[in-house]
Structure 1
Amino acid sequence: MQPAVSDPDWNEIWKERQRLQESSKLAGDPSHNWDKKENAERYDANARSEYDDRVQKTIASLPLSRDARVLDIGAGPGILALPLAPLVRDVTAVEPGAGMVEVLKKHAEQEGIRNIACVQKTWEEVDPTRDLSPLYDIVIASLSLTMHDIHEALAKMDAVAAGSVHLFWFADMPFWERMYADLWMPLHGRPYYPGPKADCLFGVLYQMGIFPDVTMMPMGKEYRFADRDGMIAFFCRRFGATTPVQKKVVEGYIGPMIRAEGHEVVISGMSTLAHVWWKKHQRR
């Protein structure tokens, strides 16, 4: 008789993949410090043009109504919260980055939006009884599932939801992550470890007794600069290329991807985003 084979613990797999990805990062990289207003403003400026199509598709996929209360987890500078606010009763935006919150509030004031409440904490730090006003008709976490214990994070999302929970996460390696994977070994002599993807997320939910619907949608990513030198300099900083040899590696990799569009130079790539969602009754 063959011994019983237990299912893998998908939450532990998620944790390990998150740990490995964290270990790939360069020490002292300030580019993703969202407490800094200049970083938040840079992200916001790129996102408002680059993500317009994705934002429209995301909003169209949600069961919106004028009476709906929305919780947006990892709201950033309000990429979803701001266009959602006029369509619903209210939005609670959870965002730990001080710079991101400042930019979100500035946009809300300029646009006369008064129904967004900001909670400046990570989702792990949030205490629903103290920091939130559940229940929420729609709970969203879009490209913000960086929590180490995803089981705990998802359970908290499900607990504060009255209607449905909507997660938007990578189904494959996004364009920017493929670049890291290609360059990390030649630049730094060690592999780059990608983070957990939607297959792992689905496994965690399944083991929680939640059977979500999953829809795939294309996701584009592009970088635009005024000139080639500016683009190469940006990616040298992004990939931690400081020596002449490292900079030559980056230029040799990025150069063939660059194309001219009008007065700008552009590189872009496609990947696939998974919309993973469930209603409260979709449980074992």
Structure 2
Amino acid sequence: MVEGFMNRSAVLKWEEMYDARLSMMNRDYMVDDWSKRSDDYSESRKTDNYRYGRSVHEILFKNGVVSPKTRMIEVGSGPGTFVIPFADKISHVTAVEPADGMKERIRENAKEAGLSNFDILSSIWQEVDVDGLSKSFDLTISSTVIWMFRDIVEQIRRMEKVSSGYCCLCAGIDSKAHTGDELWNALLGDKPRPTFPEYPLTYDILYEEGIHPEVRIIEHESRRSPENIMKMHQVFFNLFTDMNPDKEEIIRDHVMNHLENGQYVMRFKTAVIWWKARDM
């Protein structure tokens, strides 16, 4: 078994895990699912005044990846994951985001922070004209998005295409952390859980591409209100099972039994991976 694993390329393993996840689902994520999650996702990213995003910026700044002159494009911005914590420290941010709800949160969060040096490219990343944007930015960055790409190498190359400087992927280390065995088993029994391949598989894929990136590990928290975390779970589990009042009650009981000072807290480790973009 181990020998078979070692003989597979990282890209092949990525594709197998992607296909296995889809086979477990009633349907894949759609753009509207992310609009439904815009409130909970925004609350999560704003934890400790955008601590997650600020921690990533701090690492990149210390290592000479970003400066006050940097022009950055964020792939899959969500509610402004990096738009908000980066925009007041660099020249300009372009957010690539297709979901209406997320775009509304970006604008609201930017207004709240007094930021205006950003624009929104309303599109999924796969449909962005990278030839038209070739080398337009100093940094391409993405977080919690790459698991959506089966053609991971092609999308990484596209990220490099638009950057004259660096590329950065922020990849989760615990790919199951957002659900937890207890709630999964209560709702779906012994049905296999999906994996969302990120780190270290992402590193292996880059290495196979001839890229030797820098990596730093950060720890961060996500805090949500009971209402928002219940919404998050409902959207997620609806992809794997037909939701009904009984299952919604199971989610509610789980959430209410795991609150810390009135909030639902999730703790993560994330790999911040960056490298000098190649000419594409």
Whether TM exceeds 0.5 here: the answer is yes
Instruction: Kindly state the Cα deviation for residue 216 of structure 1 after the two structures are TM-superposed.
Output: 1.2
Q: Is 1:52 paired with 2:53? A: no
Q: Structure 1 segments of 4 or more deviating over 6 A?
A: 28-32
- SS of equivalent residue, structure 1 residue 87: coil
Q: Is the 8 A contact 1:140 1:166 kept in 2?
A: yes
Separation in structure 2 between the aligned mates of residue 233 and residue 165 of structure 1, nearest angstrom: 34
Shift of residue 254 of structure 1?
4.8
User: Which of the residues 260, 269, 273 maps onto 2:270?
Assistant: 273
Q: 1:198 aligns to what? A: 199
- 2:125 maps to 123
Distance 2:186 2:76 in 1: 33
| Equivalence for 2:9 | 9
Shift in Å, 1:90: 1.8
Distance 2:257 2:177 in 1: 15
Q: Distance in 2 between matches of 1:236 and 1:164?
A: 35
Tell me which of 168, 171, 184 is aligned to 2:170: 168
Larger Rg: 1
Residue 92 of structure 1 aligns to a residue whose secondary structure is strand
CA shift in 2, pair 1:221/1:90, >3 Å: closer
Output the amino acid matched with 1:203. Answer: D
Residue in structure 2 matched with residue 61 of structure 1 by the alignment:
59
Q: TM-score, normalised by structure 1?
A: 0.78
Aligned residue type for 2:211: I
Shift of 1:99: 2.1
Please report how far the alpha carbon of residue 201 of structure 1 lies from its aligned counterpart in structure 2 after TM superposition: 0.7
Q: Distance in 1 between matches of 2:140 and 2:37?
A: 26
CA distance in 2, matches of 1:105, 1:252: 34
More displaced 10-residue stretch of structure 1: 113-122 or 181-190 = 181-190
Q: SS of the counterpart of 2:88? A: helix
- Per the alignment, in what secondary structure is the counterpart of residue 176 of structure 1? coil
Greater length-normalized contact order (CA 8 Å, ≥ 6 residues apart): 2
Deviation at 1:151, TM superposition (A): 0.7
Q: Which residue of 1 aligns with 2:135?
A: 134
CA contact (8 A) 1:71 1:136 kept: yes
**Cα distance change of structure 1 residues 173 and 206 upon mapping to structure 2, 3 Å threshold:** same
Distance 2:28 2:157 in 1: 33
SS in 1 for 2:127: coil
What residue identity is the alignment partner of 1:16?
E
CA contact 1:173–1:271 (8 Å) conserved in 2: no
CA distance in 2, matches of 1:139, 1:233: 32
Q: TM-score, normalised by structure 2?
A: 0.79
Equivalent pairs counted in the alignment come to 264
User: What residue ranges of structure 1 are gaps of 5+ in the alignment?
Assistant: none
Q: Which runs of 5+ in 2 are unaligned?
A: none
1:202/1:221 CA distance change after superposition, 3 Å: same
Which moves more between the two structures, 198-207 or 42-51? 42-51
Question: CA 1:46/1:32 → structure 2, altered by over 3 Å: closer, same or farther?
Answer: farther
Q: In the TM superposition, what is the alpha-carbon distance from 1:107 to its structure 2 partner? A: 4.2
TM-superposed deviation, 1:173: 3.0
RMSD: 3.3
| Separation in 2, partners of 1:89, 1:224 | 33
Partner of 1:84: 86
| 266 and 23 in structure 1: CA distance in 2 versus 1, 3 angstrom threshold | farther
- Note the C-alpha offset of 1:278: 1.0
Per-residue CA deviations over 1:153-180 (Å, capped at 9, x if unaligned) read 1111122222211110111235313x2x
Retained in 1: the 8 A contact 2:72–2:141?
yes
Question: In the alignment, what sits opposite 2:184?
Answer: 184
Shift of residue 276, structure 1, vs aligned partner: 1.1
| Rounded Cα–Cα distance in structure 1 between residues aligned with 2:259 and 2:276 | 43
Shift in alpha-carbon separation, 1:85–1:53, aligned structure 2, 3 A: closer
Amino acid in structure 2 at the alignment position of 1:58? V
Summarize the Cα distance change of 1:254–1:6 in structure 2 as closer, same or farther, 3 Å threshold: closer
Deviation, structure 1 residue 186? 4.0
In structure 2, distance between residues paired with 1:77 and 1:219: 17
1:214 aligns with 2:234: no
Q: What is the alpha-carbon distance in structure 2 between the residues aligned to residue 88 and residue 217 of structure 1?
A: 21
